Structure formats: structure tokens, C-alpha cells
Structure 1
Amino acid sequence: MERFRESAALSLGVELELQLVNTHDYDLAPYSDEMLRLMAKIPLPGSVVPEMTSSMIEVSTGVCHSCSEVLGELAQMRDALVRCADRLNIACVGGGTHPFQMWHEQRIYDRPRFRQLSELYGYLSKQFTIFGQHVHVGCPGPDEALLMLHRMSRYIPHFIALSASSPFVQGQDTQFDSARLNSVFAFPMSGRAPFTLRWEEFARFFAKTTRTGVVKSMKDFYWDIRPKPEYGTIEIRVFDTPLTIERAAALAGFVQSLGAWFLHEQPFAPQEDDYMVYTYNRFQACRFGLEAVYVEPETGTHLPLREHILQTLERVEPHARDVGASAALDLLRQSADMGVNDARWLRETQSRERLLAETVRQAADRFRGPRARG
């Protein structure tokens, strides 16, 4: 296994998988090659790369030290994406799923890894035309990374509910706020990381799984949170791609604030028993979003997830101030207070317009940002 590299504690990196749609009927459009060619001519922070199918594109920030820095880099990339998309008469859109695309119409992007995955997973590869936000947070060392990972796992439902933006699949309202994660769960190496707090034990687990041939690298684990030793981070993977970069940066600020709380106060010791309620809490958040029920791992107490989110935001506020994330937490607090996430916005827009193509058009308009909209 690769050595766990050094990184600055609580540094951030954000990846966003984005939809490319035509501006005729707002269905997905296979324009990633053209977008990549245009984007390559623009000096930008981070990177822009293809994804599994050719109607997707992924942008990544560089190493950032605050969520405002994340927002600044995402804004540069968003503005460049919008300009390039306009030249091609297409649009970029956030959201965890495209509301009415048909998976069988998608094309696997021509890269060796994507072709191998397609051969291994069959139709699941095309069904993986889903769009997530990944947040990397720097950890002082490998043992600290595993401790951070298992502490962070308690807040997976919070992340899901606050980022949920995938209520529609193939033209239908799924009744889930985050239907995207149902597609992830179909993969055999999805779910959660094994419970260990020592890197030596984790390395032994990794060695066993590679000996079986089930996995070849850390990329083959589709866990909700996974270590990334080559970056010196843990990577949280349950967020749907938000409709705006402002919400994406706010979610990164929440992760950083939680990480600061864990590092500076060591608030609780994670245990294997925490995971007894993990799958139930995860399901509740996917299905009901901010209206979910949350079961506290230690006490078994049931309470509204919104209430637990608000309690958590209040608890980490002093640390949010220290890392410059107070405004980010304010945005999320308002969202939790009102029970409004992107899934609700999409449903309300569709209820008003009664046409999914128009809902996608308005979502594309939201992604452009206020200045681009004029």
C-alpha cells in the first residue's frame, strides 16, 4: 500500500461531478471531449477531467485552507465552464442525478480504467451516470486519518440531507431526496470502511483484499468515506453535487469545522457499535432528507435529523470561526431551519413548471451564478 503522505491538517480539496446538457431539450449531451479541449486553453487552479460517461465532467480544486478559498477556485472554474459551454451551445448543471436521462443511451468515456469498469460491472457502469461532490480533508498522520474517518461517519446522514439533490430518476420522482446513493450501493465494494483505528491493521486488511484480487487499489473501494494515502487525506463521498458552488463550498466548510472540533477537543471515541445504526440513519437521510429521523449511536435516542444538524452546527461554531467557516455554517443553518435543500427546490420547481426539461433549464441557470444571469 502507498505510504500515507504528509498534508496540512484540515486542508481541503473539493471535486464536483457535473452534468453536460444540450440547450434544446436539456437532456444529457456527450460533449466532455469538446469541453476538455476548450477548458485546457484556460489557466485555472485545480484540474478538469473526464468521468465515467461522456456527458459528465469533473472539476477539482487544488489544496485549499479555507472554504472561502474553495469557493474562489470553484468560482473561477465555474465561470470558465459556463463560457466554454456557451460556445458549444450546451449547459453545465449541478444535481446528483439528471432528472430524465436514460442510462442505456449513455456512452462510456474512452479511457482504459472506464473500459475495464464497464467490462466488470456491465450495465451498472452506465447507471453510474450520477453526480457527486467529494470533499478531502487533510489529516496529520495515518492513525489520525482513521480516527477522523470513523468520527466523521456519525455525520454521514447530515451530509446526505444537506446536499441531497437527486429526487428524479428517468422521469420519475423516486420519493428519495438522494436517489443517487442507491446507485452507489449496487457496487460490491460500497458501504463503509472496516473499523480499525490503527494504520498497520488497515494496511493488513488492504493486503488481504488485494491478494484475493477483489481490489487492485484504493480507487476500487466505493466507501462513503475512504482514506487517500497519496494525498494524506480522508475523502467523503456521500454528497450529491449541489446546484450551486456556494453550497458546495459551505459543505466543505462544515466538514472542516467538524474536523477542527475532532482534532482540538477529541469529543468522543468511535466504536464498532456506532455502525449498528449507520445503515438505518443513512437510509433515512437518503429517503427523507431534512425530514429524516436520526438515531444517536451511543444512546439509541431517536430525534429529527434537522434538530441534530442544528445542534451540531451550534456545537462546532467556535471551531468554524477559527477556520473561517462561520458564513458557511450560517448558510447550512438557514437551510436546516427552513427544511429546504436542493431536492426540495427541484421538486417545487417541477411542481410549478410541470416539465422536467424546464426544471433542468432553471437548474442550469442557478449553476451559472447571479453575475452570469445578469
Structure 2
Amino acid sequence: MAGANAREPGFSIGIEEEFWLVDRETRDLAKDPPAEFLKDAKAKLGDQVSSEFMRCQVETGSKVCNSALEAREQLIEMRSTLSEVAAKYDMALLAASTHPFAQWDDQKHTDGERYNTIARDLRTVVDRLLICGMHVHIGIEDDDLRIELMAQASYFLPHLLALTTSSPFWRGRETGLQTFRLSVFDNLPRTGLPEVFGSWAEYRRHVDMLINAGVIEDGTKLWWDLRPSDRWPTLEMRIADVCTDLEDAVCVASITRCLMRMLYRLRRNNQRWRIYANMLVRENRWRACRYGSDPGEKAGLIDFGRGEIVPYADLLEEILELIRPDAEFFGCVDEVEHARTIIKRGTSARRQREIYDAAIELGASPKDALVAVADVLIERTDPHARSDT
């Protein structure tokens, strides 16, 4: 069997989450948060918290985790700590990939060498980058194995995106999409599905060509949906919206981890997941943006083996069956099966629409209805503020 004597990857987990800083009175974005906020946050969380491109954003990054339990504990600590620090400055933390009504042309980007370079190079394209995401790192120590699994795992990226959708509103308008975030992000260069490479050496040759041509400084400027991290021996899943509910984030991270091990198990048995053309996976990517995991006559993703659209709930059951041995191996069966709960009650995007529609039905103005959406997002972001936890 291929790789029978090879050491199995560690499949560690690391989770990065991006949040909005919101003015507690208006629920609009805090356009220029005080510098003391980040200083206080770093005093409590150290390097696990950092600024983001927009001043109204903040990012957290977990330490290396070896279990879903560790990941959950770290997300709870980081979210609750940031919420407490933000409250000192009359701000709140909000987890959604777009703010319900904020305007991008009102915002300022963070002053720093990297961010100033991005702003100078990409101009108005990056001015519109009023979006947040979640990135999941899976530890895979072997360089060539990372490249091999990246090509196969791309198939599942739309399925992961559909579980996380949290950006149905853009600048106060209902977009008709479950996630509008990628419609904004895809305007940047070097985004979308990853390229397929035959080896780590081939991947590095392509990256080095861009570096030597002066186009990028390093591999961190490849903003693909899935990429080899330029800083750690990990595959970094970047397609996901940031999850409003912490348990959803743990679920998606656990599924990502199990999918990587499932693909590794296939390799160990001289098998592999079929690599489909990007034009096909890209179609599912769009369908995940448009319909997410919701049911409906036109919803669902394409099953390329059957050549037909299949309801997302059915595809999810197939995935859960595929990764069952891996969920048992990692002890995260409950976390993985939480995906069924997401399907039943809907992602953040569906619930945001429900809150908005209910407020309108009760006579609220569109602006007040959007404020009601923001209020619920704020409450559900802080694990210590939620009424159901």
C-alpha cells in the first residue's frame, strides 16, 4: 500500500476568525476604534489578536489545537475576551461576513506597511473589501502531501462554504445570496479555487516566478479558497464565511480536518478522490453562494458523479458517512454531526433574513429592521451573552 510505512500527518487545527467592531449605540461600524482597544486586547490575548485591513475589523487566531475541545475552548476565550474589551470602549463584537448596513466608502484602512501596499496596489478594488472570513489551518507536515491533498480537497470547498454563509446583506440591501462576501473578494487578483500542481516543487516554481517578477512579496498574497500556508506546514481553508455561532465554527473546522484525513486514508490505500475541472467546482461554488445549504426547488449542489443537482442535505449525509471513521478517530463525532443542526435551523444568513422579515412585518422601517439583525448578531457572537448557552 502506498505510504504504508509513512508517518501519518498530525492534522492539527488552527482557526482564524475576523470580526467587526461595532458602535454600541448606532450598531454601525466603529470607523476609527481607539488604539487603546487593540493594546488592551493584546495584553490579554497576546499574538492571538491582531488588526485587519479595515480599522473596524479585528482578527483572532487560535493556538495549535489537537482536538475539537481545545479549539472550542480557545474560541470561547478569544470571543468573550474581545467582547469584554470592546465593551470598555462602547463597542461590540459582531461575527458576520458582511455588516447588515455599513457603507464601504465610510471606512478607513489600517495604517501599516503591508496594508498600505495593498491599498496602493489595488486601489478602489480593495476599498470595497468590507468583508470578514474564517480560515481553518490543518497541519500536514509533508510538502508534497499538502499539494496533493489541496487538489483533491477543492471538490469539497463549496460544501464547506454552504455551512457557513453569513453575508446576505450588503450596504443595507438584501442581496438574494446566502453569501455576498465572495462576490466582493473575487474582485481581487489571485483569488478563487486553487490551481492544481503535481508537486511542491512545481508549486514553488510558480510562486517564485511571481515573486521574482516583483508581482508579490511572498505566498501570503495568494488569496485562494484553499492554499498551502506560507508560514506554517498547513493547508489553509479560506472559503468560509465567519460563523456567527461559535459551535458552527467548531463544526466546520472539524469537518475540514476529517476530510483531510479521509483523503489521506484513500492515498494510503492506493486510491484518491477524483480531481474535477475547476469549471465544474466553480459552478458549485456559485451555487453555494446563491443558495447555501437551504432547501428549495432550485437549490442544492451538483453531484458530478450523477450529473445532476442534489439537495444539500443529501450530500451532507454522504460526507458524514465518508468521514465517520475520521470523526471517531479524532473524537469529534458530535461536533461533525452538528452540521445537521445547521441544516435544520439554517445558517446565519437564513436567520438574518428571518429576523429582518419579522421586524418589517411588525412595522419596523428597513433601517430599524437591519439594526435588529445587528443586535442579534452581536448577542450570538459573544458566547457569554447568548441566552441559549
Q: Encode CA deviations 1:221-278: one digit per residue, 9 max, x unaligned.
A: 1111111143000111111111122211111111111112112233853565432301
2:350 to 344, 364, 374: 344
Cα distance change, pair 371–276 in 1 and its aligned pair in 2 (3 A): closer
Given that 1:256 and 1:323 are in contact with CA atoms closer than 8 Å, whether structure 2 keeps it comes out as no
1:120-135 matches, within 5 Å, as 120-135=121-136
Distance 2:10 2:310 in 1: 32
Matched, 1:281 2:284: yes
The one-letter amino acid of 1:38's match is D
Given that 2:126 and 2:188 are in contact with CA atoms closer than 8 Å, whether structure 1 keeps it comes out as no
Given that 2:251 and 2:339 are in contact with CA atoms closer than 8 Å, whether structure 1 keeps it comes out as yes
Specify the SS of the correspondent of 2:339: helix
Matched, 1:10 2:11: yes
What is the CA-CA distance between 1:144 and the residue it aligns to? 0.7
Q: Which residue of 1 aligns with 2:4?
A: none
User: Which residues of structure 1 form unaligned runs of 5+?
Assistant: 1-5
Distance 1:339 1:306 in 2: 12
Q: Which residue of 2 aligns with 1:159?
A: 160
What is the CA-CA distance between 1:82 and the residue it aligns to? 1.5
1:188-207 matches, within 5 Å, as 188-207=189-208
Q: Encode CA deviations 1:32-83: one digit per residue, 9 max, x unaligned.
A: 63321111221x3761000001000000001111121111111111111111
Cα distance change, pair 197–269 in 1 and its aligned pair in 2 (3 A): farther
Distance 1:31 1:97 in 2: 18
Q: Which residue of 2 aligns with 1:365?
A: 379
What is the CA-CA distance between 1:8 and the residue it aligns to? 5.4
Q: Encode CA deviations 1:187-214: one digit per residue, 9 max, x unaligned.
A: 1211222211311111111122223322
Distance 2:34 2:168 in 1: 24
2:359 to 353, 358, 370: 353
What is the CA-CA distance between 1:25 and the residue it aligns to? 1.5
Specify the SS of the correspondent of 2:70: helix
Given that 1:165 and 1:342 are in contact with CA atoms closer than 8 Å, whether structure 2 keeps it comes out as yes
Given that 1:45 and 1:61 are in contact with CA atoms closer than 8 Å, whether structure 2 keeps it comes out as no
Cα distance change, pair 53–45 in 1 and its aligned pair in 2 (3 A): closer
Distance 2:46 2:333 in 1: 24
Matched, 1:294 2:297: no
What is the CA-CA distance between 1:318 and the residue it aligns to? 2.0
What is the CA-CA distance between 1:141 and the residue it aligns to? 0.4
User: What is the aligned length?
Assistant: 367
Distance 1:368 1:114 in 2: 28
What is the CA-CA distance between 1:328 and the residue it aligns to? 1.1
1:72-111 matches, within 5 Å, as 72-111=73-112
Matched, 1:112 2:79: no
Distance 1:180 1:58 in 2: 17
The one-letter amino acid of 1:91's match is A
Q: Which residue of 1 aligns with 2:314?
A: 307
Cα distance change, pair 116–146 in 1 and its aligned pair in 2 (3 A): same
The one-letter amino acid of 2:359's match is E
Cα distance change, pair 7–84 in 1 and its aligned pair in 2 (3 A): farther
Cα distance change, pair 312–16 in 1 and its aligned pair in 2 (3 A): same
The one-letter amino acid of 2:282's match is T
Given that 1:132 and 1:241 are in contact with CA atoms closer than 8 Å, whether structure 2 keeps it comes out as yes
Distance 1:126 1:72 in 2: 34
Identical columns (%) = 26
Distance 1:170 1:91 in 2: 19
What is the CA-CA distance between 1:314 and the residue it aligns to? 2.1
User: Which residues of structure 2 form unaligned runs of 5+?
Assistant: 1-6, 361-368
The one-letter amino acid of 2:328's match is R
Q: Which residue of 1 aligns with 2:169?
A: 168
Deviates more, 1:164-173 or 1:63-72: 63-72
Distance 2:337 2:40 in 1: 36
Q: Which residue of 2 aligns with 1:3?
A: none
Deviates more, 1:265-274 or 1:97-106: 265-274
Distance 2:46 2:316 in 1: 32
Computed over aligned residues only, the root mean square deviation of the Cα atoms, in angstroms, reads: 2.0
- TM-score normalized by structure 1? 0.93
Q: Encode CA deviations 1:309-363: one digit per residue, 9 max, x unaligned.
A: 2210122122111112111112112222x26111001110111123101210111
Distance 2:150 2:168 in 1: 28
Moved over 6 A (4+): none
What is the CA-CA distance between 1:126 and the residue it aligns to? 2.3
Distance 1:45 1:298 in 2: 47
The one-letter amino acid of 1:49's match is S
Given that 2:218 and 2:230 are in contact with CA atoms closer than 8 Å, whether structure 1 keeps it comes out as no
Deviates more, 1:113-122 or 1:287-296: 287-296
Deviates more, 1:130-139 or 1:148-157: 148-157
Distance 2:141 2:306 in 1: 30
Given that 2:154 and 2:226 are in contact with CA atoms closer than 8 Å, whether structure 1 keeps it comes out as yes
Distance 1:275 1:162 in 2: 21
